[in-house]
Structure 1
């Protein structure tokens, strides 16, 4: 998939075009993961039931609000590298490392268990992106991804704490 338009001015930022393309491809896959995860968190927010409804409803809202910011940041990072961010549901489902919602219940523990696994998957994916960025000499993306990973490690910890 070519993500550079013929009319687009290529960035001259000290990175090889091939490396920028590889990093942008990784970021588009992360964008797909984020979009699928965002949808799953919204599902949990809308459908959670039980005595902890109110606190969990707000908890999920905080997570998807932050993920919405992350989605925009990843898409903008793709653009900084001179490529286009994917924006179709078909591409998201093709690129994602995650599955669509598997848990069909409405209790918070079941929903949180699936989201915890998804965040841990995303963390491992980001680690591979950090390695890719390092090998490409793209310290900007490396730093960006490290910040995202640290943020998601905290979210995964908070999710796991609900399961104890």
Structure 2
């Protein structure tokens, strides 16, 4: 079975719209899964005076990302597609910069994650616009929900770095 495999659905969006939305959502799955793994990397390795609060925050943020991945993947399958969610699939398709593995100090870790959360939030807003133009209100609404959560996560990260 390949990623192009499609399944019958009674969702009344044109086939070309469903195909485009599945590709758009699959890209979001890859980027979000990559951000999840980078957030766990930070969670495991953060050091410094803010260790405990950041360790907990990063774990909470990673958990929220897992929930978002599930929502995105389920929308792909609802639109008649096959969701690809392996680590290898995400790594090969992600548009996010690689996490700097040597970054462990509190504030540089926060900055690295904030940069990546901001990038995913921006691409999510672009995806909302594309889904809206395509006439897929369901996908646009799902992405809007995720956009709000990413903005909140970014706020939490940025608040730690502000003086």
Normalising by structure 1, report the TM-score.
0.92
Where do 1:9-158 residues align within 5 Å?
A: 10-158=8-156
Aligned length: 161
Normalising by structure 2, report the TM-score.
0.92
Structure 2 residues not aligned, in runs of 5+:
none
4+ residue runs over 3 A deviation:
none
Structure 1 residues not aligned, in runs of 5+:
none
Alpha carbons 1:103, 1:114 under 8 Å: kept = no
Alpha carbons 2:3, 2:83 under 8 Å: kept = no
Q: Deviations over 1:110-158 (max 9, x none)?
A: 1110111111111111111111111221101111101110111111111
Structure 1 position 89, deviation (Å)? 3.1
Change (3 A) 1:140 1:57: same
1:159 partner SS: helix
Task: Tell me the equivalent position of 1:4.
Answer: 5
Question: RMSD in angstroms over aligned alpha carbons?
Answer: 1.4
